[in-house]
Chain A
Amino acid sequence: MPREIAIGGVLIPGLLVWFLLSLALLLLFDWVVGRYGLYRFVWHPALFRLAFFVCIFGSVALLLY
Chain B
Amino acid sequence: MSVTEAKAVASSRRELIAATLREETATWLFVLKSLLAFYITGWLAMRLELPQPSTAMLTTIIVANRQTGMVLAKSFYRGIGTLVGALAGFLIVALFPQQRVLFLTAMSLWIGLCAGGATLYRNFKAYAFVLAGYTAAIVALPVIDHPLEVFNSAVFRMSEVLLGLGVSGAVHDLIFPRRIRDDMRRLARTQFANFIDFVQRAMAGKVARPDIENAHLRFVRDAVTLEDLRSSVIFEDPEARARSGHIMMLNQRFMAASTSLQSLHHLINRLKRKGHDVPANALIELYGPISEALDAPIEAGAAARVLLPRLQSARKAMDLHRPALRAGLRSDSDLLDFDTGVTLLDQFAGELYDYVDISSALQAPTLVGPAERVHFERGNDYIGSTIAFVRTTLAMGALSLFWIGSAWPYGSSAMLIATVFAGLFAAAPNPSLAVRETFTGYLLGMAVCFVCLFYVLPEMDGFSLLIAGSAPFLMVGLALMAAPATTRVGVGYCMGFAYILGTKNQMVFDVMNFLNDMIAQLIGVASAGISFVIIPPAIGSIWFIHRQLDRLRRQVGSAATAPLTGLRSRFESMNHDLFGQIVAQTERGSQASRNLLAWALSVHEMGRTLIELRNQMANRSLPGEVHGAITRAIDALARLYEQPSVVSYEHALHALSAATVMTSRDPSMHTLMDYLHLLRLALVDDQSVLAEYMRSKTLANGATHAA
Contacts and interface: CB of A to CB of B under 8 A. Distances in A.
Contact of B174 (A34, A37, A39, A44): A44
Nearest to B236: A46
Interface string B149-171: 00100000000000000000010
Interface stretch (B238-246, B297-305, B657-665): B238-246
B242 A39 contact: no
B173 A46 contact: yes
Given A37-B365, A44-B174, A31 B241 contact: yes
Contact of A30 (B151, B170, B238, B365): B238
B241 A37 contact: no
A39 B238 contact: yes
Q: Is the interface of B mostly helix, strand, loop or mixed?
A: helix
Contacts of B68: 46
Given A10-B151, A36-B366, A50 B238 contact: no
A49 to B, nearest CB: 8
A33 B237 CA distance: 11
A47 interface: yes
B142 interface: no
Nearest to A26: B238
Contacts of A44: 174
Contacts of B238: 30-31, 33-34, 39, 49
A44 B177 CA distance: 10
B151 A50 contact: no
Contacts of A33: 238
Interface in A13-65: 30-31, 33-37, 39, 44-47, 49-50
A30 B561 CA distance: 42
Contacts of B170: 50
Contacts of A30: 238, 241
Interface residues of B, number: 14
Nearest to A19: B162
Contacts of A31: 238, 241-242
Contacts of B242: 31, 34-35, 37
Contacts of B237: 34, 45
B693 to A, nearest CB: 53
Contacts of B241: 30-31, 34
Nearest to A12: B155
Interface in B75-92: none
Nearest to B365: A37
Interface string B221-253: 000000000000000011111100000000000
B173 A39 contact: no
A34 B173 contact: no
A35 B241 CA distance: 8
Interface string B277-292: 0000000000000000
A34 to B, nearest CB: 3
Q: Which of B174, B239, B365, B366 has the most CB of A within 10 A?
A: B239
Nearest to A13: B155
B111 to A, nearest CB: 25
A47 B173 CA distance: 8
Contacts of B174: 44, 46-47, 50
Given A46-B173, A47-B174, A50-B174, A34 B239 contact: yes
A5 B174 CA distance: 33
Contacts of A34: 237-242
Q: Which of B173, B177, B238, B366 has the most CB of A within 10 A?
A: B238
Nearest to B243: A34
Contacts of A46: 68, 173-174, 177
Contacts of A39: 238-239
B376 to A, nearest CB: 20
Contacts of B151: 10
A50 B173 contact: yes
Q: Which of A10, A39, A45, A46 has the most CB of B within 10 A?
A: A46
A44 B634 CA distance: 57
Contacts of B366: 36-37
A61 to B, nearest CB: 15
Nearest to A44: B174
Nearest to A33: B238
Contacts of B240: 34
20 contacts: A10-B151, A30-B238, A31-B241, A31-B242, A34-B237, A34-B238, A34-B240, A34-B241, A34-B242, A35-B242, A36-B366, A37-B239, A37-B242, A37-B366, A39-B238, A44-B174, A46-B68, A46-B177, A47-B174, A49-B173
Among all A-B residue pairs, the 6 with the closest Cβ atoms: A34-B238, A30-B238, A34-B242, A46-B173, A34-B239, A35-B242
Given A34-B238, A34-B239, A46-B177, 6 more contacts: A30-B241, A31-B238, A34-B242, A37-B239, A37-B242, A39-B239
Interface of B: 68, 151, 170, 173-174, 177, 237-242, 365-366
